[in-house]
């Protein structure tokens, strides 16, 4: 089975987190920034644990300083992602890293990303949509301008609002103002939860933020009543197994709960999160799911159908992408 050629959908990536280390090193050299300490001796990103990962991630982001940097990043990421058979991708983009939450600046960064996404769609056959993202450990106040940026630019490209970052920073309800603002503007919602916080954090995220999807969500496995609620509400989990393994949110591939979640009836999808940080690709994720759990083409087809149904895009886009998932005649 060629895992690379299977047409794939991924719903959970972070645009800056998809930046190859060589790309970030190139920008750092252009700007004469010394960020050498974030790389290991092989040139990859180096971090000890999740908190350190967030620090390294933010240090890498300091090299991304202009709309042009984001245009180049978007092109590079889409070329690489399309090479792994991904036909539709959603990516988290944060106004905090694109002009510091200023709406006018955000619109310029966004225009550059859209320009690259259009070009990449024509060249590489991959469709990109953006989810504006608040950074949780920057605090509830910092998430408000992000939500405002989401509300003001909701449209063909920006199709959702979410929150990433350090999950243990406050309770979900501390962020309800931002989620309410985005919901009132009509945006569908997702939020990282249950990567670190266990079932309580997932339950509160669903109850207090009204999300349609949960980023990771794997902590839900420890609470049968919560699983029933997730199933009943048809909440979709954006599961990123390789990320969970490398960051040690789980003990290893064998211990990953993705199969238990799916077999319990939960809608699960598969994504890479921040592929170069975790030495992964969508091809590698599929290979490991095959090797560890025996997943076959039928399993991958089902996963992609679930992902397409849960995508935050408009119905025309969904219909167009559905055709790309059909096996070649
Ligand atoms: N930002 C980038 N990757 C993340 C992750 N795995 N969890 C939370 N925030 C993130
Ligand atoms: Zn993530």
Average pLDDT over residues 39-58: 97
pLDDT grade, residue 141 (50/70/90)?
very high
17 Cα nearest atom in ligand 1: 2
Condensed to tens digits (0 to 9), the pLDDT of residues 161-188 reads 999 999 999 999 999 999 999 999 999 9
Ligand 1 closest atom vs CA 164: 9
Task: Decide: 164 in ligand 1 pocket, CB within 6 A.
Answer: yes
Res 329: pLDDT = 56
What confidence score (pLDDT) does residue 105 get? 98
Cα-to-centroid distance, 165 and ligand 1 (Å): 5
What percentage of the chain carries pLDDT values higher than 90? Answer: 98
Q: Name the β-bridge partners of 131.
A: 92, 160
Spacing, Cα 326 to ligand 2 middle (Å): 28
pLDDT at 326 over 90: no
- Which ligand has the nearest atom to the CA of 18? 1
Among the options 195, 229, 297, 305, which is catalytic?
195
CA of 182 to the centre of ligand 2 (A): 19
| 16 CB near ligand 1 (under 6 Å) | no
Instruction: Give yes or no for residue 162 CB within 6 A of ligand 1.
Output: no
Query: Contact at 8 Å (CB) between 312 and 12?
Result: no
- Summary mean pLDDT of the chain: 97
Q: Which atom of ligand 1 is nearest to the CA of 195?
A: 7
Closest ligand, as measured to the CA of 91: 2
pLDDT in tens, 280-312: 999 999 999 999 999 999 999 999 999 999 999
10 forms bridges with which residues in the sheet? 89
Please tell me the residue having the least CA distance from ligand 1 atom 7.
165
pLDDT on residue 23: 98
184 belongs to the catalytic site = no
- Model pTM score: 0.97
**Cβ neighbours of 184 (radius 10 Å):** 10
Q: Mean of the pLDDT values across residues 92-107?
A: 97
273 lines ligand 1 (CB under 6 A): yes
> How remote is the CA of residue 164 from the centroid of ligand 1, in Å?
6
* Direct distance between the N- and C-terminal alpha carbons of the chain, in angstroms, rounded to an integer: 17
Please indicate whether residue 165, judged by its CB atom, sits closer than 6 Å to ligand 1: yes
In a 10 Å sphere around its CB, with 0-12 CB exposed, 13-18 middle and 19+ buried, how is residue 97 labelled? buried
Inform me whether the pLDDT recorded for 223 exceeds 70: yes
Q: How distant, in Å, are the alpha carbons of 31, 34, 37, 111, 196 from that of 108? A: 20, 27, 31, 5, 34
d(CA 230, CA 303): 17
State whether the beta carbon of 90 lies less than 6 angstroms from ligand 1: no
Q: Which residue has the tokens 């992408």?
A: 321
What pLDDT score does 327 carry? 73
From the CB of 214, is ligand 1 less than 6 Å away? no
Atom of ligand 1 nearest to the CA of 274: 3
Ligand 2 centre to CA of 17 (Å) is: 9
Which atom of ligand 1 lies at the shortest distance from residue 247's CA?
Answer: 6
pLDDT tens, residue by residue, 255-273: 999 999 999 999 999 999 9
Structure confidence at residue 328 (pLDDT): 64
For 86, phi then psi, to 5°, come to -75, 125
**Closest ligand to residue 245's CA:** 1
pLDDT at 1: 74
């Amino acid at each position: 089975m060629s895992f690379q050629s299977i047409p794939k959908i991924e719903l959970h990536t972070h645009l800056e987190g998809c930046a190859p280390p060589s790309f970030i090193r190139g920008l750092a050299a252009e700007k004469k920034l010394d960020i050498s300490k974030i790389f290991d001796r092989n040139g990859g990103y180096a971090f000890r644990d999740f908190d350190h990962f967030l620090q390294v991630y933010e240090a890498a982001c300091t090299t991304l300083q202009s709309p042009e940097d984001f245009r180049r990043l978007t092109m590079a990421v889409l070329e690489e992602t399309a090479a792994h058979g991904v036909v539709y991708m959603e990516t988290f983009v944060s106004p905090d890293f694109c002009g510091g939450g200023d709406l006018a600046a955000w619109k310029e960064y966004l225009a550059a990303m859209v320009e690259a996404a259009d070009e990449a769609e024509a060249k590489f056959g991959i469709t990109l949509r953006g989810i504006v993202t608040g950074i949780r450990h920057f605090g509830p106040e910092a998430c408000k301008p992000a939500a405002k940026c989401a509300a003001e630019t909701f449209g063909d490209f920006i199709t959702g609002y979410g929150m990433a970052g350090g999950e243990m920073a406050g309770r979900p309800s501390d962020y309800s103002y931002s989620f309410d603002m985005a919901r009132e503007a009509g945006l569908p919602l997702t939020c990282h939860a249950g990567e670190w916080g266990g079932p309580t954090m997932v339950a509160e995220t669903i109850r207090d933020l009204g999300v349609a999807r949960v980023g990771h969500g794997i902590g839900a496995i420890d609470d049968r009543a919560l699983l029933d609620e997730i199933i009943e509400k048809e909440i979709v989990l954006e599961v990123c197994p390789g990320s969970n393994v490398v960051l040690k949110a789980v003990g290893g591939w064998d211990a990953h709960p993705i199969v238990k979640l799916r077999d319990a009836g939960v809608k699960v999808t598969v994504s890479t999160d921040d592929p170069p940080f975790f030495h992964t690709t969508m091809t590698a994720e599929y290979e490991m799911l095959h090797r560890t759990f025996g997943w076959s083409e039928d399993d991958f087809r089902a996963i992609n159908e679930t992902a397409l149904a849960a995508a935050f895009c408009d119905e025309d886009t969904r219909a167009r992408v559905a055709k790309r998932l059909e096996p070649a005649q």
